[in-house]
Amino acid sequence: MTLIPIPVRGRTVAADWVDEQLLAGPDGEPCLRFGAPVSRGTLRALVAERQRQLAAAGLGELGTVALRMAPSAEFVAVLLAAWRAGARAVLLDHRLTEVEVDRAVDRLHARVLVELVDGRPRFRQMPTVVSEGGEAMGLAAGDHALVQLSSGSTGPSKVIGRTAGDLLRELDCYARLPEFPARGERTVLLSSTVHVLGLVGGLLHALHAGVELVVPQRMTPAGILSAIADGAAPTTVIGVPFHAELLAAVAAPPVLPQLRRMVVAGELVRPGLPDAFRERYGVPLGTMYGMTETGVIATDLTGRHHPALRPVHGMELSLDEGELHIARTRSPYLGLTDPTRWSAGLLHTRDAALLDPATGRVTVLGRRDSQISIGGLKVDLNEVEQTLTGLPGVVEAVVVFADGAIEAYAATADGTALPPSEQGGTAERLRELLGRELAGYKLPRRLHLMPQLPRTATGKLLRDVVALRRQVDAAR
């Protein structure tokens, strides 16, 4: 698929890229389904109306609008309207508290805040703040169309800016993947549209490629399966590993001849999950690796090479002492850039990886900061976590280092809490199985069994020790 050159007006990208790359197509062509279907003609009219309302609220070219909206046709319309106006959009998860929203809006100097009230957008003009904050954050002089707060599970969010050119280059990468949804097909999207996979791989790719995007009304196994079944076109499901775990646990799923594959990203996949998913549905569980800073980096959509992934078109990867680096001409971060994250044209992923020189494939091993020292001996918490997750009856696990010891938190297969009388025996059994595969100094000092593990808003496993311990207390 050939991308149309991006026209530039003044210091920002003109509206043309939205019209030509995302909104073009027959009026009657179905493009979105958030419960009710939305055609391209209807979406174009809605975008034009929301653009007028943004202008009336004071948003102009190079202005900043913050969106705090649940996944909906209105979210899509306001986002595209902001881009058509030459403004930049800050995406905030709709589940954030008022305090978190106010802090983000103030930090990023948003001119307008858009929220959903009774299913309709409410446009709030924010006080004008004249300070050096905007310049320091890189908003005033930047050509960014999109500003995102990364969904880190271990620390504070980073502020990341992406231009329209960045987004179009990522869409070109998706268009070159033969297994990714193409015109006339459907995508059932389970990932959040506020974050990079759901936004670009799901929403923007669907608009760009002529794919109908379907967001289930209920994110339960029954709701997801119903959304897949409610259409005859070839269907790809996009989500995080947690969603695949939910579907793989369905004892007797319906026959779904339209299902082509499921694709997951966001964290490492449990070793047995791809086989379990294929056994249930007869289609592959594809995997992807990416970052908010870059979008998609590498994929294995066929499921044949897991955990190895092939870099997407134009992605230059390298290793430095086992850490994966990505070539990037400028920093993706707004404001001062930490040189340990980006320097000399290289983005430091902080992920440990292996690169196969023969095939070019990359295997992501997990966070480099997962390596700790026990009595002078190196332990990779990712290795402990993956081994624990692979044991019988364990669906998911988190392994952390706290108070000088390794702690493990595991969820059982049936998702129910074990009574205290059984917890000890089950924990000892798991510890015994772990001891057969790992050296004694790698074994967790404490192993907690829980009905489910806490997650971030995007479905990633939370690794904050305080939150994990709080969940254990609540389960008790």
Average pLDDT over residues 52-63: 93
- Token pair listed for 29: 């062509």
pLDDT at 80 over 90: yes
SS3 at position 295: strand
pLDDT at 450 over 70: yes
- pLDDT of 11 reads 38
Average pLDDT over residues 36-45: 97
Query: In whole angstroms, how far apart are CA 105 and each of 59, 66, 84, 336, 453?
Result: 14, 7, 21, 19, 30
Cα gap 70→209, rounded to integer Å: 23
Residue among 267, 253, 255 at smallest CA distance from 197: 267
**Radius of gyration over alpha carbons of the chain, in Å?**
23
Query: Are 239 and 459 a contacting pair, CB within 8 Å?
Result: yes
Average pLDDT over residues 162-188: 96
Average pLDDT over residues 321-332: 93
Domains identified in the chain and CATH numbers = 8-162 (3.40.50.980), 167-315 (3.40.50.12780), 317-368 (no CATH), 375-475 (3.30.300.30)
The pLDDT tens digits for 142-154 are 689 999 987 544 4
- pLDDT of 375 reads 65
Query: Are 94 and 116 a contacting pair, CB within 8 Å?
Result: yes
Q: Provide the strand spans (E) within 8-137.
A: 8-9, 12-13, 30-34, 36-39, 64-68, 88-92, 112-117, 120-125
Average pLDDT over residues 422-432: 75
- pLDDT of 4 reads 41
Average pLDDT over residues 119-145: 67
- pLDDT of 10 reads 36
Q: Which residues contact 89 (CB under 8 A, 6 or more apart)?
A: 64, 65, 66, 67, 79, 82, 83, 145, 146, 147
- Mean confidence (pLDDT) of the chain: 87
Which of 54-58, 287-291, 426-430 comes out lowest in average pLDDT?
A: 426-430
Cβ density class 151-162: b for 16+ within 10 Å, e for less? bebeeeebbbbb
pLDDT at 130 over 80: no
The pLDDT tens digits for 296-322 are 999 999 999 999 999 999 999 999 999
- pLDDT of 319 reads 95
- pLDDT of 151 reads 52
Could you count the other beta carbons within 10 Å of the beta carbon of residue 347? 21
Q: Which amino acid is at 433?
A: L
- pLDDT of 340 reads 86
Q: Which residues contact 335 (CB under 8 A, 6 or more apart)?
A: 136, 137, 138, 159
